[in-house]
A and B are shown apart, each in its own frame.
Chain A
Amino acid sequence: MLPLALDAVCFAARGRTIIDRVSCEIGTGPRTVILGPNGAGKSVLMRLCHGLLQPTSGTIAWQGTHETRRPREQAMVFQRPVMLRRSVLANVVYGLKLAGVSRAERELRARDVLDVVGLADRAGRPARVLSGGEQQRLALARAWAPGPEVLFLDEPTANLDPGATREVEYIIGQIHASGTKIIMTTHNLGQARRFADEILFLNEGRLAERAPAGQFFKQPASAEAASFIKGELPWQ
């Protein structure tokens, strides 16, 4: 279903433009990181791509499909994932059920992915009593279990401590290695450096720059990106 093509996508809410004429094509392969300061519109752009929001104008199209929200094809992990009030295993099974996976297969597959995210021994515990890091790992397992082609991650480690962040990044790496396309937002430069293959730099709702990660950090083409990397205060 990739590439994902955005053409002059705009999104406005309450008279304020949040996403301003973003056009780009995101293809298979590299880990794509949408980087930008708080309030740049990263989360909104991601929700537009995922299909939770509809663009005010412009189009978002997946290759060869009109259906944009099928969990089997593309899934999303939120900054603050919502754990259902049931067991860890049941949370993953729930996602598989909605994705149309047969009853016989659900539990087997759920146990497999829990193994990958290191929660196999927690399978029977209520999901809501897990720690923040464990909850985010469970959210990854739940989103990934149906085998989506694309996984959107909206600041998946913004609320986590460094240890939990490393675990989550490691798991995302595994998911990438399994062939799932990773598209992630972050405002964290360190994380983008560690993790990104290519950078989409978003500033005030506009796509200011797109470049391979190495090039982006060495020689940013746009003045906004350069000052963001240097950590300059924008009003000085």
Chain B
Amino acid sequence: MGDILLALSEAARLIGRFDANLVAIVALSLEVSLAAVVIATVVGLPVGAVIGVTRFRGRQTLIAVLNGLMGLPPVVVGLLVYLLLSRAGPLGQLGLLFTPVAMVIAQAILVAPIIAALSRQVIEDAWREYEEQLRSLGAGPVASALTLIWDTRFSIVTIVLAGFGRAAAEVGAVIIVGGNIDGVTRVMTTAIALETSKGDLPLALGLGIILVSLVLAINAAAQWVKETAQRRYG
């Protein structure tokens, strides 16, 4: 018990004096996950919008697959991206394995289905409400899709934040494709895994505290956005 308390106070000290090592790890985590979420949104949102407002054969199957992909195990994504980027793989020439770019790719693959599946649901619900009105006003498919995205913007913000939370908290994918190289590809989750097994509890605990706070803050922000928007815009 004493050891844990000691480690906790040491962790608090690390956070309190903005320990350089700790700050670098946190910064890389945020950079990688933010980039991944931006890419995942650019890809996933249009896919979700198109599936939400169109009717075609096999749509239900596609939705089932998309929903299933939300639960994609990070280690499997890591493995697939590893195979793609490894020296013998199809994209091996690019030399991306064990770089932050590889980590961004893996997390984007992990998050894109989440954003596509959740935005599909939100946009489809809105479409049901808006369809007649928009057609009556003369909106074509593109104008309708843009209007729906804009009118569901607050829900979409919370979806994107959920995607960010998932990216920042996963360890399986980034540890495989990043390799947890000190100062290069070490992020919060991989550092916690390594430092714990090494026995350096203060750093692991400090990063753990920051990670949990971050996830809580993101969820609080998501809820705040939604409630404020509901109050102000109805």
Contact = CB atoms under 8 A, between A and B. Distances in A.
A50 interface: yes
B30 to A, nearest CB: 30
A95 interface: yes
B132 A98 contact: no
B234 A85 contact: yes
Nearest to A76: B136
Contact of B132 (A52, A94, A95, A99): A52
A132 interface: no
| Most A-side CB within 10 Å, residue of B130, B136, B151 | B136
B138 A69 contact: yes
B133 A81 contact: yes
Given A126-B232, A126-B233, A126-B234, A84 B147 contact: yes
Nearest to A96: B137
Contact of B233 (A50, A82, A129, A143): A129
Contacts of A78: 132-133, 136
A83 B232 CA distance: 14
A207 interface: no
B234 A50 contact: no
B151 A98 contact: no
Interface of B: 129-130, 132-133, 135-139, 143, 147, 150-151, 153, 232-234
A71 interface: yes
B54 to A, nearest CB: 18
A51 to B, nearest CB: 8
Nearest to A81: B133
A99 B232 CA distance: 28
Contacts of B135: 52, 69
Nearest to A87: B233
B28 to A, nearest CB: 37
A47 B153 CA distance: 30
Given A98-B143, A126-B234, A82 B138 contact: no
Interface in A133-175: 142-143
Contacts of B129: 82
Contact of A98 (B130, B138, B150): B138
A50 B138 contact: no
A94 B137 contact: yes
B152 to A, nearest CB: 8
A40 interface: no
B233 A128 contact: yes
A82 B234 contact: no
A128 B234 CA distance: 5
Return the 4 tightest CB-CB contacts between A and B, nearest first: A128-B234, A82-B133, A71-B138, A85-B151
Nearest to A152: B136
Contacts of B133: 78, 81-82
B185 to A, nearest CB: 42
A202 interface: no
B145 to A, nearest CB: 14
B138 A99 contact: yes
Given A52-B132, A85-B233, A70 B138 contact: yes
Nearest to A50: B136
A75 B147 contact: no
Contacts of B234: 83, 85, 126-129
A86 B234 CA distance: 10
Contacts of B151: 84-86
A71 B133 CA distance: 11
Nearest to B151: A85
A194 B30 CA distance: 66
Interface string A87-116: 000000011001100000000000000000
Nearest to A135: B234
B137 A98 contact: yes
A125 B11 CA distance: 49
B144 to A, nearest CB: 10
